[in-house]
Every structure is written in C-alpha cells, then in structure tokens.
Amino acid sequence: MTKIIETHNIAKIYKMGNNIVNALQDISISINKGEYVAFMGPSGSGKSKLMNIVGCLDSPTHGTYMLNNQMVSEMTENELATIRNKEIGFVFQTFNLLPRATALENVALPLIYAGYNKDDRHEMAMAALENVDLANRHHHRPNELSGGQRQRVAIARALVNNPSILLADEPTGNLDSKTSYDIMNLFQELHDKGHTIIMVTHEDDIAHYAHRIVRLRDGLVEWDHKNEKINRGETVAAHSDVNLS
C-alpha cells in the first residue's frame, strides 16, 4: 500500500520559563492512502499537537515527517502553506464558515486561492456539495442552516480541492448526539469512496467509527490498534428521526 504519512521520532518541545514541556515524544507512525484513522486521547495527551504537525500547521522540534513523499518537517512557513492548500482538507469543530457567504461561496473559497476561474469554481463547489448531499442548500447562508448542515458545508469545502488527506479536528464537538452520528456516517461514506481520513477526538464512541485508533497519552503513543468493532450506523439506526436535509 502507498504510504501517505510517515513520521520518525517526532518530538515537540516547549520552554515555559525554566520548565521544559515535552508535548510530543518520539512519535513514529505511518498512515497509508485510503486509511481512516482516529487520534484519540484526553486533554493534554498530545493529539492536537500531533494533528498540527500532520496538518502542516506546525513543525516538529526533532524528527522527520514525510507527507506524500515530501519532507515537510524541513519546510519554511511559506512552503508549508502551499502544502496545506494542496494536500490537506481541514474540518474544524467550529465550522469556520464566512457568515455572509452562501454555502456555495464558502465551498468555492479555497479554489480562489488555487487560481481557478469563476465557472470552474462554481462547477467544482456544486460537485462537492452534491458529494455531501447538500446541493439543494447551495444558496443558503450559514445562519439559515442547521449545525449538521453547516458541518456538511465545511466538509465539502475541505474536499473541493481533492486533497490527499481529510483532517477532522473534533468534527462533532459542536453537534448534538443525533447529528454527530449522522456526520460520522457521512465520513464513513467518504472513506468508502477512497478518501484518506484522520480524525482527532476525545470521545470513545466517535473514535470507533475509524478503522484504526492511535491513542496518545503524555505525548507518547500509548497504543496503535486496528479497530475490530467499527461503528457503521448502528447508533443512527436507533435514532431514525435524524434528518439533515
């Protein structure tokens, strides 16, 4: 299988006054194209720091990081920004949508920075919204959408550039339980279509939608296991009244 992420002995060290904080220690992991992985752990475990490095939002203090055969751990800030725009689609807990823009305009935003013309942006953004079953809401602004619909717009925006990785940071953190499970089923559908997904969460039931779980504690990988009990809509079936259309 094709390795898309490979880290060797990653460490992230901060100096706070006279204290040295080892946020990450000796992290060596690899993730293949098409995998669905959850980084899980309690607050302070290092999962968010690892996400920042994997997402090219930060660089390690020590160690190496290869993303899609590119040595990103030694790149400059400008080079990292280019890699982020090209290789990674981000989904955040708080959606991060522009309030005055329509769903279509929000999804098309990354394509402006990528240099696409208006017609191509419209076509690609509509296709991304169709991919998350929200094309019929393309003209709505965020305040006219439910929380689940706003997260679907954010997911469409993350996918519109066809990135190598979909990186989701606590994607259900601002959603109620029923909507959370519906969004997790959407992630499963995207994975079934071949997308590589990395999710950061502290919730055990959400982590178990992933096919592999990497649990961190105190900046170390506590364990890295294949998930033998994958959630595939069982919880949603118990809440059949969920409707995000």
Helical spans, DSSP H, in 38-113: 47-54, 77-87, 103-113
Domain extent listing, the chain: 3-237
What CA–CA distance (Å, rounded) separates 77 from 190?
30
CATH annotation of 3-237:
3.40.50.300
Note the pTM of the prediction, 2 decimals.
0.88
10, 67 in Cβ contact below 8 A?
Answer: no
pLDDT at 188: 93
pLDDT at 245 exceeding the cut of 50: no
What CA–CA distance (Å, rounded) separates 244 from 149?
6
pLDDT at 211: 96
pLDDT at 1: 76
pLDDT at 241: 37
Determine whether 10 is exposed, middle or buried from the number of CB atoms within 10 Å of its CB (0-12, 13-18, 19+): buried
Stated as kind and residue range, the H or E segment containing 187 is: helix 177-192
Note the pLDDT tens digit of each residue in 157-200: 999 999 999 999 999 988 988 899 899 999 999 999 999 999 99
pLDDT at 233: 62
Note the pLDDT tens digit of each residue in 105-127: 999 999 988 889 999 999 999 99
The pair of three-digit structure tokens given for residue 158, joined into one six-digit string: 């993350």
pLDDT at 100 exceeding the cut of 60: yes
pLDDT at 244: 37
- In total, the chain counts a number of residues equal to 245
Note the pLDDT tens digit of each residue in 204-239: 989 999 999 999 999 999 999 999 888 876 444 333
pLDDT at 17: 85
Note the pLDDT tens digit of each residue in 38-94: 999 998 899 999 999 999 999 999 999 999 999 999 899 999 988 998 899 999 988
129, 156 in Cβ contact below 8 A?
Answer: yes
